[in-house]
Structure 1
Amino acid sequence: MRTVSSVLSTALLTTGLLLAGCGGQDAGQSATEPAASTAPAPRTAVASLAPTEGHETTGQVTFTEVDGGVRVEARVENLTPGPHGFHIHETGDCSAPDATSAGGHYNPQNTPHGAPDTTASARHMGDLGNIEANQEGVAVYDRTDPVLDLDMILGKAVIVHGGQDDLHSQPSGAAGPRVACGVIELQEAM
């Protein structure tokens, strides 16, 4: 009897250990492996800014889809200190020496020019306002824009102007010459 009891105890102990070893993990997944993410990475587009004729302004603008719109991040160099108009223009063509080939502000809803913090009906989609260059000529911009739609701005141009956008003059804010231009292109997912 003692042998049967010993065999049963060993069998129950082994079964318990086997069940405990499962630990609720799916087959093929160890306890240290994180579950695979099914959420897609946010889409990102970039415009590399090149100077127009007679200027030295360069930079990069990144557009990333986020909750609530598109996050716009920019670093622009070789500007005169102070504010500079910063816009998305209607065509992705920077071939003219003065970048006039990029057309006017991107305005698919045919709305008046305005500040970026106004409603969609009170501004062009391309109105990003001004970037502020420091004494070293560097401007940094970081803002989530609720009006922008990444699909709608792909292939358009980003323009940096030589002067301040007054945010109300029609049709474009009187921001002066175009000092840099770059085309917005979708980045491939990594």
Structure 2
Amino acid sequence: MAKNNIRFLALPVLFSTLLSGCMDNKDPVNNQDSMAPVGKQLEVVMFQVTPQGNGPTVGKIVIHYADDNDASGGIRFQPALHDLLPGEHGFHVHENPSCEPGEKDGKKVAALAAGDHYDPEKTGHHEGPEGHGHLGDLPKLMVDEYGNAIIPVEASRLSLDDLKGHSLMIHAGADNYSDNPPLGGGGARIACGIVQ
């Protein structure tokens, strides 16, 4: 009888050991590999911006790796935006974590405190997402006839870590990916969010 009790007590210990061996390297909150990029994402709330300051929110943009199994494949920006003008819009990472207005040539300018396009290599050129210029140049954001943007865009040259401490900017017009106007970069700043 005592021999059977010992076997019965050994089973839970064995099961517990096997189960804990299967759960090594897991994040207990997300139940994902703690060393893998899977599941990592950033969420940026976007606001209307005017020369007087920030207005109401126009939604959010969720950013995650384009390939869940490989962080070297770049990142995807998944917009869930509303109340924007229909059409193509310039879309960029800007250098500063601010969406506040600033003053230029004696005039207040919306979200000027965000600075210029993110350009850590100091190229000084606006060449688009696949060019060798600003790292912050992103593909154009498409807004449908109802003012919603839901189509994702991808940036193969960026990582999630590149974005932290910067801002995302949506411009009034389409971007011609040129250093020269008209609409070099997309024109006026209309929506902004800080990446934290």
Q: Do both share a fold (TM > 0.5)?
A: yes
Query: Which deviates further from its counterpart, 140-149 or 43-52?
Result: 140-149
Distance (Å, rounded) in 2 between the aligned partners of 1:81 and 1:71: 21
Aligned to 2:179: 170
Matches within 5 A, 1:145-156: 145-156=155-166
Distance (Å, rounded) in 1 between the aligned partners of 2:87 and 2:77: 20
Aligned to 2:64: 64
2:93 corresponds to which of 88, 93, 110 = 88
TM-score (norm 2): 0.70
The offset of 1:110, in angstroms, is 2.2
RMSD: 3.4
Matches within 5 A, 1:91-170: 91-96=96-101, 98-111=110-123, 112-116=125-129, 118-119=130-131, 122-167=132-177, 169-170=178-179
Structure 1 stretches lacking a partner, 5+ long: 1-10, 186-190
Cα contact 1:57–1:179 (8 A) shared by 2: no
> Any runs of at least 4 consecutive aligned residues in structure 1 with deviations exceeding 4 A, and if so which?
54-57
TM-score (norm 1): 0.72
Distance (Å, rounded) in 2 between the aligned partners of 1:70 and 1:85: 18
Percent of pairs with identical residues: 29
Distance (Å, rounded) in 1 between the aligned partners of 2:80 and 2:184: 22
2:17 corresponds to which of 18, 27, 30 = 27
The offset of 1:56, in angstroms, is 6.6
Aligned to 1:52: 49
The structure with higher relative contact order (CA 8 Å, sep 6+) is 1
Which structure features the higher share of strand residues? Answer: 2
- SS of 1:129's equivalent in the other structure is coil
